[in-house]
Amino acid sequence: MTFASLGLIEPLLRSLETLGYQTPTPVQAQAIPAVLAGRDLMAAAQTGTGKTAGFALPLLQLLAMEGPKVASNSVRALILVPTRELAEQVHEAVRQYAENLPLSTYAVYGGVSINPQMMKLRKGVDVLVATPGRLLDLYRQKALKFNQLQTLILDEADRMLDLGFSEELGNIYRVLPKQRQTLLFSATFSDAIRLLAGQMLNDPLSIEVSPRNVAASTVKQWVVVVDKKRKPELFVHLMRKGKWKQVLVFAKTRNGVDALVEKLQGLGINADGIHGDKPQATRQRALDRFKASEVQILVATDVAARGLDIEDLPLVVNFDLPIVAEDYIHRIGRTGRAGATGQAISLVCADEVNLLSAIETLTRQTLPRQMEHDFEPEHRVPDTDASGQVVKKPKKPKKPKTSSGGKRNLGKWVESGDASAPEPSIKPVRKVPVFNTGPRKKKP
């Protein structure tokens, strides 16, 4: 199968040839004809399988071949994404695909000044990539109108809900034209997303080119168990032992990112970090330096789990497991992309055993475990498996509690002052300090 056989026009084929695209991926082969036919679409595919081209190529063709010229402050197609990084990545891909077409593209997101974005929108934009919050800001300031909108695309919609954008999505939905084409593309679909699709899509065609919530088979995954306080030390040990050259590390919190980066830099390791508290320009500069191999270790929160497209990234490390199990799939999906192989290592402590169990249940696989010499955990990490079970040690039998004012018999309670109670057959056991482990002396 070729891209030409899918019905794409010659300007798009030239762009694909320039980019080195040769054969459509499974999601592209199924999505492109459906979008060209005007169908609403709900597509699930593993990250790194070409979802962006799956919706962007037919979208650009439809815009180039039909519809009026875009008016001032208007858009003809809207692509909603959850993060700034993903907005930049998707826009860059769309811009490259549209290189030989008379179409304008632009991306808007928070964290930067809104004024240049308002100025750019005055001329109108054919394809706008946006995060929900900034899109609503522009709409409320009358810098944006939707009367010409033909197509709405929700990319990584499940992540938008995870980040708390459900209210923003509802507000956007209410101001869009009822007559439009709507596409949902994502690596995973939660029940909440399926409910959202039922509200926003009209008789959608469903495409699922890989099993739901399964990590890419091109990524080798395993777990290293360790005590929480020794994670930084273990990470440095593994990095030096494996001679890691380029590693993307995920931490749970912004403070966790900063703390790990500070420790690594203190050891002379070239590291940088990105999270939501950093200005967009700073985040982009760190990402660009990492892509150029000027930074060896890039530490990020889940804000970067979707939107980082790093060519030939060999390794992802989960310094902390994610709170939301689906984020694990997107984190490790930064490696092993486009048919390449990759590795994903998770450092897991006892506190994270339930998170690990949730990930294994979601992905339907039990992650192999390793224990590094000299880093054996003092706090045992219970065994888990893909059934969602956590195997715990049997509990020790509880010692009988002593009531206030009571006497302890052999397994029987006798309350003082209880005249009806029978006299014990032997003397009550005398309390012995727990630290006295020697034999008890007999009375003379």
pLDDT at 356 over 80: yes
Query: How many CA atoms are closer than 13 Å to the CA of 302, on its beta-carbon side?
Result: 18
- Cβ pair 96, 168 in contact under 8 A: no
4-208 fold: Rossmann fold (3.40.50)
pLDDT at 408 over 90: no
4-208 and 219-391 share one CATH topology?
yes
Provide the pLDDT confidence category of residue 422 given band limits of 50, 70 and 90.
very low
Could you state, in order of their start, the residue ranges of all structural domains in the chain? 4-208, 219-391
> Does the 219-391 domain belong in CATH 3.40.50.300?
yes
Provide the pLDDT confidence category of residue 186 given band limits of 50, 70 and 90.
confident
pLDDT tens digits along 137-164: 999 999 999 999 999 999 887 777 777 7
pLDDT at 412 over 50: no
Provide the pLDDT confidence category of residue 387 given band limits of 50, 70 and 90.
confident
Provide the pLDDT confidence category of residue 364 given band limits of 50, 70 and 90.
confident
What pLDDT score was predicted for residue 399? 58
pLDDT at 435 over 50: no
pLDDT at 287 over 50: yes
